[in-house]
Amino acid sequence: MSKDSTRGLTSAQKRELWERWKKGQSLSEIGRALGKHAGSISGVLAIHGGIIPSIRTRSPRVLTLDEREEISRGLAAGNSLRQIAASINRSLSTISREVQRNGGREAYRAGKADRRAWKCATRPKPCQLATKPELRELVAEKLKLDWSPEQIAGWLKRHFPDDLAMQISHETIYRSLFIQARGVLKKELVKHLRSRRGMRRSRHTSTEEQPRTSIVDAVSIRERPAEADDRAVPGHWEGDLISGSKNSHIATVVERHSRFTMLVKVNGKDTDSVVAALSRQVMTLPTQLRKTLTWDRGGELAGHKQFTIATDVSVYFCDPQSPWQRGSNENTNRLLRQYFPKGSDLSGYTQEQLDDIALQLNQRPRKTLSYSTPAEKLESVVAPTG
């Protein structure tokens, strides 16, 4: 990924990001559309707790840029403040304060004054829970009892029907939980929500028109060749994703006969990204090592047919909730946590760095191989080419 693709989003891109999020698109889909990593998209959403921020608008009471330009022209012409106020139908005090706060008659510039006013208008309004400690404590108490925000809001309305100061909407509670910049409710309270997700999607969000990640025409592991089951010959692989923070992932692929491991950089968890990355990596292998791949039921390999067409490697899927059917891969993923601790951001690793880590792992002796290394084991059974 280029350096430019990791920079911040423009205002237009942010608007598009929120529109796509509202439509139910995944982080990877949004990232591809904007030319950004899914982790960058996740970071923007997390700041707002997944809640679409309100679009900023100017109050009709404040001066507009056109009015400020009229003030600037009037000052340049030597008109009095009273004359300028009359020409734009504003009070004298409004014009006087505007000119004084922006450098006086000699230094006043319309554009600069307008930008300053827009910036000053970003001062956040304290939220309801921040100004009402009794209500805040009561909401936190009910959250700790595993009440949902909607239950809390309904209960408050019932028990304090005549006291609006002790009533709050469930959306405001969600905002106070997910937008931690507010600093009102502790982040630990999120674990008491039923979903326990770190971001909220609007109740208007719909994924009905979004493609599902069900695996069409999946072939069961029970139909895998016997030579793959007994590890008799090389070329049969097990694969999965390991995940990190900021929606980052790495594909891990382990050869069953030798336990030889390949690590693959992926730009997202969506099937297009995973299939493309796996195909590139697998095609670097000798033909005799490209026989089968066994994967779990994750939707990231829903495009298995495209993978097979590109690599001539047949794909088999484990039974649901059966990780032991990819035992070599599961064990390798545990070993890899030495290099990729849980919660670490995996998006910063290049393919070259991943190759180096895989090399270290493949040169470590394994008890299951009578203390040979995976690299030695694979080399001993692969026929030389040429």
Q: What is the pLDDT of residue 179?
A: 61
Q: What is the pLDDT of residue 133?
A: 85
What is the spatial distance between Cα 160 and Cα 279, in angstroms, rounded to a whole number? 62
Q: What is the pLDDT of residue 95?
A: 92
Task: Please give the distance of CA 263 from its chain centroid, rounded to a whole number.
Answer: 22
Tens digits of pLDDT across the chain (386 residues): 434 344 578 878 888 888 888 777 777 778 878 888 777 787 777 776 676 776 667 777 889 999 999 999 999 999 999 999 999 999 999 999 999 999 999 999 999 999 888 877 765 566 777 778 888 888 888 888 878 888 888 999 988 999 988 988 887 787 777 665 445 566 666 666 665 555 555 444 444 444 444 688 889 999 999 899 889 899 999 999 998 888 899 999 999 999 999 999 998 888 999 999 999 999 999 999 999 999 988 888 999 999 999 999 999 999 887 888 899 999 999 999 889 998 899 989 999 999 999 999 999 998 889 899 999 999 988 866 54
What is the spatial distance between Cα 66 and Cα 367, in angstroms, rounded to a whole number? 78
Q: What is the pLDDT of residue 46?
A: 72
Structure tokens at 222: 């029970």
Nearest Cα residue to 242 out of 155, 300, 320, 310: 300
Q: Is the pTM of this model over 0.75?
A: no
* Residue 182: strand, helix, or coil: helix
List 345's β-bridge partners, or say none.
Answer: 245
List the chain domain ranges: 4-47, 65-120, 128-192, 221-381
Tokens 């959306």 belong to 171
- Residue-by-residue DSSP string for 299-357: GGGTTHHHHHHHH--EEEEPPTT-GGGGHHHHHHHHHHTTTS-TT-B-TT--HHHHHHH
What is the spatial distance between Cα 315 and Cα 5, in angstroms, rounded to a whole number? 33
- Residue-by-residue DSSP string for 198-266: SS---TT---TTSPP---TTPPBGGGS-HHHHTT-SS-EEEEEEEE-BTT-EEEEEEETTT--EEEEE-
Q: What is the pLDDT of residue 205?
A: 45
Nearest Cα residue to 157 out of 145, 179, 173: 173
- CATH value of 221-381 in 2.60.120.620, 3.40.50.800, 3.40.50.300, 3.30.420.10: 3.30.420.10
Q: What amino acid is encoded at 177 in this protein?
A: L
